[in-house]
Amino acid sequence: MTDMRRTILWLVFTMSLVLLWDAWNKHTGRPTMFSPAPAVSGAQAPGAAPQAQLPAPATTGGAAVPTPPPATVAAEKVAITTDVVQATIDAKGADLIRLELLKHADEHDPKRPVVLMQRDGQRFYVAQSGLINRVDAGPAFPNHTTLMTPMPGPRTLEPGQDSLQVRFESPEIGGLKYAKTYVFKRGSYAVEVKHEVTNTGEQPATPQLYLQIERDGYAESGNYMMGTSTFTGPAIYSETSKFQKIDFGDLDKGGVAVPPAGTQGWVAMVQHYFVSAWLKTDSAQREFRVTKNPQTGRYTVAMVLPMEQLAPGQTRAVDTTLYSGPQEEKRLEALAPGLELVKDYGMFTIISKPLFWLLDKLHGFIGNWGWAIVALVVLLKAAFYGLNASAYRSMAKMKAVGPKLQELRERHKDNPQQMQQEMMRIYREEKVNPLGGCLPILIQMPVFIALYWVLLSSVEMRNAPWVGWITDLSAKDPYFILPVVMTLTTLFQTWLNPTPPDPMQARMMWIMPLVFSVMFFFFPAGLVLYWITNNILSIAQQWYINRKLGLNK
């Protein structure tokens, strides 16, 4: 039994050191064992209009439809301002090439808003759409390389206005004219995008509408600890395969399987806290594609919607939604089935989602995410009270028999087999389970890890204040006050526990809290607050049980 305890302790200690080293590498920007460095596309000349990758069009005989050359005339950049976003739309393709989220501060400069989409010399992340021909060797249609004309109208959502429309129209290409209308709404990150296609030629046309998001492989840094990191990359939701994340690394290798065509689904680009997604919620045939452009190193996820044949003079409209904003679960759930799944909870989603639901309810009642975390710990401790009480009684009994075990070790130090037999006899007589204090910890560990993912992934915690100096529960404590308090409470709790008879185990019992405490210096403040609250409640419960057993003397 002692050997088993020693093995478990050494295993935990070794893994702690490995994870601590990995976390430190992440904190200092060095390569890590658990999260390889993301692929970053090569920078281009500032101000240049990058050549976006058009998804391979569907064909009937295998021949790809040629793409018209990009426009050489400088396209107008249309700036849009609402109460929540500042957007830039390039008249070339009417692409959304820059999006600032005015309600979310930048991680490195709180005075600036988060820039979700951008196209400059360092970053490439845009939303595009256009038309491709369903007929082999047919004429090219207006697409995201076509120079379009912005129609006159307001560019700012004024007070009292609920929506703002911005319309772009293409010239006639291949017998078709294409118009794209963005509808920005007050307080919303979901932009309605209406696509109108008119057949201006003399022959029927069979276009397809493609909706795509293209970006480089850069991944934002964040509070990544415990060998974990949130997902960055394309995601597809379909009626057959449901939610599917696609790693940049898999696209680098090629051969990624995508869901079959269906009548439901959406495509997205996911990153820590934020997401961009093309949505079409009504039932309509669609095809999914995801590629990497070997020339630019950029990644594209696309949804292609076949349109019915257009007779000469006929116009048809397709309504879609482009969501680009924070991963707020309630907002995402209301937009499209499965869209809330872009919020990355890791492998403990089944526990994390109910925890966030409860945390959100507490926040609605209390009004502060920090105090909601404290209340959540109180509820969890109440739920596990009986289990913890059993563990603390077991540890208290172990502390009571500690002197006997120490005397036994001294007496039989030259006879390990006899010492083990005598120790087992004492355990039986005193009705002590030496591993009784470990089981509750193992049972509660998934809950702790799940809550870690909740705090790591929830944009609601981003820039959420608690008290005083804690202005962002998703970031580390700037003055390390909470980690120091956590260390002191952990050491005090260790003092309440029974001292192992093995000197090595006794030293380990004090070393391990210090190791974990160092890791907590870089954890999100919300997680450290959770641990401190848990420690204080555990100390109170353990002190109470020790007092009942007469051990607080």
pLDDT at 35: 44
Q: Which of 376, 393, 365, 275 is nearest to 323 (CA)?
A: 275
Query: Given this model, what pLDDT does residue 440 score?
Result: 62
SS (H, E, C) 292-361: ECCCCCCEEEEEEEECCCECCCCEEEEEEEEEEEECCHHHHHHHCCCHHHHCCCHHHHHHHHHHHHHHHH
- Which H/E stretch holds residue 214? strand 207-215
pLDDT at 62: 31
Tell me the pTM.
0.79
State the residue for tokens 């075990």: 405
Give the H or E element holding residue 388. helix 385-400
Measured over the CA atoms of residue 337, residue 343, residue 344 and residue 347, the dihedral's sign is negative
Q: How far is CA 478 from CA 55, 59, 269, 410, 467, in A?
A: 46, 57, 31, 48, 13
Dihedral over Cα of 486, 489, 495, 500: its sign: negative
CATH topology classification for 129-219+230-342: Beta-galactosidase; Chain A, domain 5 (2.70.98)
pLDDT at 518: 79
The residues pairing with 242 across neighbouring beta strands, listed in sequence order, are: 238
Amino acid identity, position 383: A
Contacts 24+ apart (CB under 8 A), 257-263: 258/288, 258/289, 258/290, 259/288, 261/285, 261/286, 261/287, 261/288, 262/238, 262/286, 263/239
Residue type at position 207: P
Do residues 111 and 335 lie in contact, with contact meaning Cβ atoms separated by under 8 Å? no
Cβ atoms of 196 and 317 closer than 8 Å: yes
Per DSSP, 210 falls in state: E
> At 242, phi and psi to the nearest 5?
60, -135
Mean pLDDT by 10 residues, the chain (553 residues): 43 49 44 41 32 40 38 79 98 97 90 95 94 85 96 96 97 96 98 98 94 91 52 94 92 88 96 96 94 93 95 96 96 95 86 92 95 93 74 64 69 72 70 60 76 86 91 89 90 71 65 76 87 88 71 53
Residue ranges of alpha helices (H) inside 28-76 are none
- Parts of the chain belonging to CATH 2.70.98.90: 129-219+230-342
Report pLDDT for 433. 63
As a residue count, the chain comes to 553
Residues 6 or more apart from 279 whose CB is under 8 A from it?
A: 190, 266, 320, 321, 322, 323, 335, 336, 339
